Amino acid sequence: MNDAVSLEKIPLAVAAPPARVGVLLVNLGTPDTADAKGVRVYLKEFLSDPRVIENQGLIWKLVLNGIILNTRPRKKAKDYLKIWNTEKNESPLKTITRAQSDKLAASLGSHTHLVVDWAMRYGNPSMRSRIAELTKQGCDRILVVPLYPQYSAATSATVCDQAFRVLSEMRAQPTLRVTPPYYVDVTYIDALAISIEKHLATLDFTPEMIVASFHGMPQKYIDNGDPYRAQCAATTEALRERMGPNAPKLLLTFQSRFGFDEWLQPYTDKTIEQLAKDGVKRLAVVMPGFSADCLETLEEIAQENCEIFLHNGGEKFSAIPCLNDSDEGMDVIRQLVLRELQGWI
């Protein structure tokens, strides 16, 4: 007699439906106040993360606490004041991320057991507080959505680190999923192309070329295996193909370098300076790696790099807004969330 049991005769287990499902949008972070104290608190948390500054040895701690946190906050506070949302007394990044969360919740309203919230990896609202709130509301499953199209250990991975750090302290843990990077997702590339076309239509000039500026990182991080640069290049190439041969030439660059290490090149500011010196008179800059406008887009690109371009002979400059909570931007987030929620809703 054959004791083997046919797999076809084994009843499949049916998973119990989730009580409630949480969706947590996470962006990088921002100071709570546009003053030296607020910036200092934010920078200390940010620059103490070994994912951001990998060598957290004694020398770095002395430099961070003895020099950087005593000098940089005052300068950065002035930059934040240039872009601060004075009506809400918060940074634009916080305003936009909240709007993204609210619009996503409204668009998914038919799924009554979904709870949408938002957090910052550094600063407030903290991931710890929002995960606690989602579980308090009965969410036994949470989808964490790092709002970074391209993966890097210093952004996407540290969101995962913090999420699991919070869960490690919980006895009754919710089940966790994390959305993957979406750097060549068709919806994302289409949204970028449409946003560029819409913005260019509002200008009184046609740019001779467009600089695609991504946040930089030390070259050694890439040398050690981080896929970030390759994903930025893939985004740029996909966007170039989507825009077609009649669109302005698209150049890949990297901004926001910090410290004395070699960072990813070509540098945005140096490229923009050289373009102006080479006779380019009309330039636009798009920032595909940022899901929401922030200090790096509104102050560094739209103001500092604009000045660099005009000072070196350029005549017309425009920074193209990030996708933010536009219809196209929200479609990217909604499609990403719905795809990764399959089986839960």
Whole-prediction pTM:
0.93
**pLDDT value of residue 260:** 82
Residue 190 lies in a domain: yes
The boundaries of the domain holding residue 336 are 20-182+327-340
Closest by CA position to 155, among listed 129, 181, 177, 131: 181
The enclosing domain of 27 has a CATH number of 3.40.50.1400
Whether 75 and 95 map to the same domain: the answer is yes
Q: What 8-state DSSP symbol labels residue 147? A: -
- Do 123 and 236 have their domain in common? no
Is residue 10 a part of any domain in this protein? no
How much of the chain exceeds pLDDT 90, in percent? 92
pLDDT in tens, 49-85: 999 999 999 999 999 999 999 999 999 999 999 999 9
Residue-wise pLDDT tens digits, 318-337: 999 999 999 999 999 999 99
Q: Give the CA count within 13 Å in the CB-facing half-sphere of 183.
A: 20
Distance from C-alpha of 200 to C-alpha of 183, rounded to nearest angstrom = 23
- Do 33 and 163 reside in the same domain of the chain? yes
CA distances from 275 to 218, 248, 278 (A): 24, 14, 5
Domain match, 173 and 211 both = no
Residue 247: the pLDDT is 92
HEC profile of 240-251: HHHHCCCCCEEE
Give pLDDT tens digits for 174-226.
Answer: 999 999 999 999 999 999 999 999 999 999 999 999 999 999 999 999 999 99
Asked whether residue 76 is domain-assigned, the answer is yes
6 occurs within a structural domain: no
- The answer to the question of residue 169 being in a domain is yes
Count up the domains in the chain and report the number: 2
Q: Which residues contact 170 (CB under 8 A, 6 or more apart)?
A: 135
> β-strand 249-255 against 209-215: which pairing, if any?
parallel
